[in-house]
Copies of this chain bind each other. A is one copy, B any other.
Amino acid sequence: MYFGSDNQTGASAQVLGMLTTANNEYTHGYGDDRWTHQAIEALKTLFECDLEAYFVATGTAANSLALSCMVQPWEAILCHDSAHIILDESTAPELFTGGARMLGVSNGEGKISPQHLQDYFQTTGTDYPHNVRAAALSITQASESGLVYTPAEISTLSAVAEKNGLSVHMDGARFANAVASQQCTPAELSWKAGVDVLCLGATKCGALCAEVVIFFNKDLAATFTHRRKRGGHLLSKGRVFGSQMVGWLQDDHWLELAQHANAQAAKLAETINTIDGLRLVWPVESNELFVIMPKGLAAHLQDAGAEFYDWYVTTLPPNITIGEQEIFARLVTSFVTQDAQREAFCDLIQNYFAVQ
């Protein structure tokens, strides 16, 4: 009953198998190998366009390095108040950008809206160099609240961003889940909707450690190789990333893994919605569930070996409050979540309420 995080799994058999195959070859170092080259070609096919792509080991590295190519040290990055880049990545963005500023603009809602951006621009001074100019917008897909941005929503945000001189970054740690959740292509969810740079994560959805920074706007990539090396993020054995990504992309493997995780989340939500004592804070659109539950239930579940997090309450819908005897729990499903473990978890919930 592991709903702690989708990063508590290993790699899928297909991904690990490709890494094992790659292990036994002689190759040049630093990404000059056939696995890296093949992975980049696969990304071009997947996204139906030309692009530049660079691999790193962590989402924090991917996001921070990407953003460092998009802003100057005296500029700002706008993002959701609960974005991983502003809450969960220490001050990595500041380190890699040389001290640019992170600004949350979502004002308590589950996704950034065009109005949030408008509000920001209307209340912020433009007396440079005194004031800090926003130069990039970062959107998380799926969002910090497990919601997905539609292509139309991204397009609208991108249009506001572009009009104000911002380029658009997408933190795609769960991009696969967002695609699996909608009837659209990876291209439609990214560059066709105005995204300049996508950090696509495989780690949470089937790989061991493989993140890729994809520049649809290739001009922004000019300094990336220097920044990656200087950040200690250029692996000598580049095949480690390349082979995982080849395995992940092959035969829509990535999409199947994400569909599995999403389906498990949907089924879990279905059960939760039938129970009076539980409240889902946000609609379940990907593989994360945010549930307000009695502290007693949380203890009951954890005593039985279930894993999940007591989450931050930075962002809540306006009509929701958390009682003193409640917690705000985050449940995450993954490509390895089994029906049996989900059902056991639901049984525990139902047993708990049966005896209250």
Which residue in chain B gives the minimum CB-CB distance to A29?
Answer: B7
Give the complex CA separation of A65 and B223 in angstroms. 21
Closest CB in chain B relative to A92 CB, distance in Å:
5
Q: Across the interface, do B229 and A232 meet the contact criterion of CB distance under 8 Å?
A: no
Determine whether A294 belongs to the interface, using a CB cutoff of 8 Å to chain B: no
Q: Across the interface, do B10 and A23 meet the contact criterion of CB distance under 8 Å?
A: yes
Residues of B near A23 (CB, < 8 A) are 10-11, 16, 208
A236: contacting residue among B28, B58, B226, CB under 8 A: B58
Closest CB in chain B relative to A324 CB, distance in Å:
13
Whether A312 contacts B125 in the complex (CB less than 8 A), given A90-B229, A94-B101, comes out as yes
Whether A130 contacts B58 in the complex (CB less than 8 A), given A8-B27, A20-B16, comes out as no
Interface of chain A residues 2 through 45 with chain B (CB within 8 A): 2, 4-5, 7-11, 16, 20, 22-29
Q: Across the interface, do B99 and A94 meet the contact criterion of CB distance under 8 Å?
A: yes
Interface of chain A residues 100 through 137 with chain B (CB within 8 A): 100-102, 122-125, 127-132
Determine whether A57 belongs to the interface, using a CB cutoff of 8 Å to chain B: yes
Which of A102, A123, A229, A230 gathers most chain B CB within 10 Å?
A230
Q: Across the interface, do B88 and A230 meet the contact criterion of CB distance under 8 Å?
A: no
Whether A232 contacts B9 in the complex (CB less than 8 A), given A26-B2, A95-B99, A209-B237, comes out as no
Q: Across the interface, do A56 and B232 meet the contact criterion of CB distance under 8 Å?
A: yes
Pick the 5 closest A-B CB pairs, nearest first: A61-B232, A94-B99, A10-B23, A7-B236, A129-B229
